[in-house]
Amino acid sequence: MAPKVVIVGAGPVGALAGLYAAQRGMDVEIYELRDDLRLSTAVPLNYTKSINLTLSERGIQALKHSGRSILVEEIMNNTVPVAARMVHGKSRTRLTTSRMAYDVKKEALHVVDRAQLNKSLLHGLSSFPNVRVFYNHKLFQLNLKEKVATFKNTTVKDSEEIHKVNFDLIIGADGAYSVTRYHLSRYTKLSINQSWLDIYWCEFAMPKGHGLPLDCLHIWPQKDFMFIALPDKEGTFTCNLFASESIFKSLKTSGKIVEFFHEHFPGVTPGLITTESLQEQFFKNSYFPLMDIRCSPYHYGDSCVLVGDAAHAMVPFYGQGLNTGLEDVRILFENYLDRSNMSLSKRTLPAPSQEQEEGLGTTGSSAEPLDALLQQYTQFRQPDVHVINNLALKNYHEMRRGVLTISYKVRKMIEEALCLYVPQLGWATQYRNVAFTTMRYTEVAKKVEKQGLILQAVSAVIFAFIAIAFVQILFSVLGSNSAIPSLSIVFA
């Protein structure tokens, strides 16, 4: 009998986990709290609102490893390639723009509509006879020792209809507000660090006729807040204002949203969004806080594991939330579940991956205990996720302030020149390693720190040579006069 996998959550990460499990011949059941997103009548829950998503190399590789090449091609055809940031500002006399390419080798991010991505993955699942998806079902009870989950049908108000299901493994992919994580905390000493940040966001729509390049993420940075715009497939832009709660409350009270934009985001209104539309959208759309969630461990025994936002929710400023979640699925299945009896009967073991060769377990000719493998997964994945959570927080500062500093631009220029013209050094910017490779996040952090130390040392040497040259020139100009002895003492 095929092993049974129950997945809680049919968002992009949960749907991809379903594809991976189905490809391995497992019996898959997915339970989703919302209605089927492919139906025109489906209405997302308020807390599932999402900022536009960007697919980068990690997420793209995770999709490709699902083995559904036509599906991946369909998804990529519905994305908008974005190759640069465009920073908007204003001089004394005119509006200004500055284009900053993400990568010296012309790699691009791919902006994707969350609903469209989700629909494509759910459609891909529908072709598997060993997959069943249950919509409008809420996880009600979970017994991880007996491996029994109980779901309630939410379509009928006050309904007592329940659905009990046995499983071999349950995967929690039910997002930042994970009910699976809540039940997991009753079985293991789960440490949860949930930080509500004083960063709120409100969404705006920019219609066609804007004149902005569609291959850029547009930023209007300020020291303490910012406005961004990401292109949509239709040629429109989805925009977001990020600011503290106090700013939103002040604007709601005063109603001076147009004046606020005129002062801080020049050119947005009325040039890109009419003043009437800006006011209407601001007062109609709610604003939401961002959060940072980290927990440990991600698993319990051989019965449960968390992936995606259920394990680690992060702020969106590095565009890695989706990509990290999709990568979770690839690593979980290819590096760990493929070495267990969950898929040995249906799939030939792959060759050891780079991650497996780094000391956290080795592949063998027979199945390994699933509880040990899930523990290895937690130990391997957590350090990486903590790094990207931190980088996402830091990138908010960079997007608001760093992109405007000379030091940021100089370091980026040096690192990109070394990457392009001296590739044998293996030098690259932090952004390139995060977004356009599948290098472990922990390795990215180590590499960036090493490169920073080297640049500091080189800068110190260059400064010393300049200082010595200046002294020599000064001596030659002054010649042999009475000032020389005092100068010699000063520079001794």
Q: Which of 239, 224, 200 is nearest to 397 (CA)?
A: 224
- Decide if pLDDT at 405 tops 80: no
Whole-number Å distance between alpha carbons of 425 and 122 = 43
51-72 pLDDT, tens digit each: 679 999 999 999 999 999 999 9
**CB contact set of 470 (below 8 Å; sequence gap of 6+):** none
Strands 95-101 and 109-112: unpaired
Band (pLDDT 50/70/90 cuts) for residue 387 is very high
Lowest mean pLDDT among 296-310, 313-327, 416-430: 416-430
140-178 pLDDT, tens digit each: 999 999 999 999 998 877 667 788 999 999 999 999 999
- Please answer whether residues 78 and 113 qualify as being in contact, where contact means their C-beta atoms are separated by less than 8 angstroms: yes
Band (pLDDT 50/70/90 cuts) for residue 488 is very low
Ramachandran class of 24: left when φ > 0, alpha when ψ lies in -120 to 50, beta otherwise: alpha
- How much is the average pLDDT of 108-123? 94
- Decide if pLDDT at 484 tops 60: no
DSSP state letters, 212-232: --TTEEEEEE-SS-EEEEEE-
**Looking at residue 413, what is its pLDDT?**
78
For 127, counting Cβ atoms within 10 Å of its Cβ (0-12 exposed, 13-18 middle, 19+ buried), the class is: exposed
- Please answer whether residues 59 and 326 qualify as being in contact, where contact means their C-beta atoms are separated by less than 8 angstroms: yes
In the β-sheet with 216-221, what is the strand arrangement from edge to edge?
95-101, 84-90, 216-221, 226-231, 237-243, 191-206, 287-296, 312-313
- How much is the average pLDDT of 462-481? 73
Whole-number Å distance between alpha carbons of 30 and 173 = 10
280-317 pLDDT, tens digit each: 999 999 999 999 999 999 999 999 999 999 999 999 99
- Decide if pLDDT at 119 tops 80: yes
Structural domains in the chain plus CATH codes: 4-399 (3.50.50.60), 405-480 (no CATH)
How many separate helices (H) and strands (E) can be counted in the chain? 14, 20
**Looking at residue 464, what is its pLDDT?**
76
Indicate the average pLDDT of the chain.
87
347: which DSSP letter?
S
Band (pLDDT 50/70/90 cuts) for residue 479 is low
Lowest mean pLDDT among 43-57, 91-105, 188-202, 454-468: 43-57
The residue length of the chain stands at 492
Residue 14 β-bridge partners: none
Band (pLDDT 50/70/90 cuts) for residue 360 is very low
**CB contact set of 228 (below 8 Å; sequence gap of 6+):** 217, 218, 219, 220, 239, 240, 242, 399
- Decide if pLDDT at 460 tops 70: yes
C-beta contacts of 246-255 below 8 A and 24+ residues apart: 248/200, 248/202, 248/287, 251/282, 252/283, 255/279
- Please answer whether residues 312 and 194 qualify as being in contact, where contact means their C-beta atoms are separated by less than 8 angstroms: no
- Decide if pLDDT at 98 tops 50: yes
For 101, counting Cβ atoms within 10 Å of its Cβ (0-12 exposed, 13-18 middle, 19+ buried), the class is: middle
Band (pLDDT 50/70/90 cuts) for residue 423 is confident
**Looking at residue 480, what is its pLDDT?**
53
| 250/92: higher pLDDT | 250
pTM score: 0.87
- Decide if pLDDT at 85 tops 90: yes
332: which DSSP letter?
I
Q: How far is CA 291 from CA 51, 130, 296, 417, in A?
A: 13, 36, 17, 36
**Looking at residue 396, what is its pLDDT?**
85
**Looking at residue 252, what is its pLDDT?**
94
Lowest mean pLDDT among 8-22, 122-136, 154-168: 154-168
Residue 217 β-bridge partners: 85
Helix 12-23 × helix 321-331 angle, to 10°: 20
Residue 90 β-bridge partners: 95
Lowest mean pLDDT among 67-76, 194-203, 277-286, 458-467: 458-467
Band (pLDDT 50/70/90 cuts) for residue 237 is very high
Reduced to 3 states (helix: H, G, I; strand: E, B; else coil), residue 56 is: coil
**Looking at residue 350, what is its pLDDT?**
46
- Kindly tell me the sign of the dihedral angle through the C-alpha atoms of 104, 220, 110, 309: positive
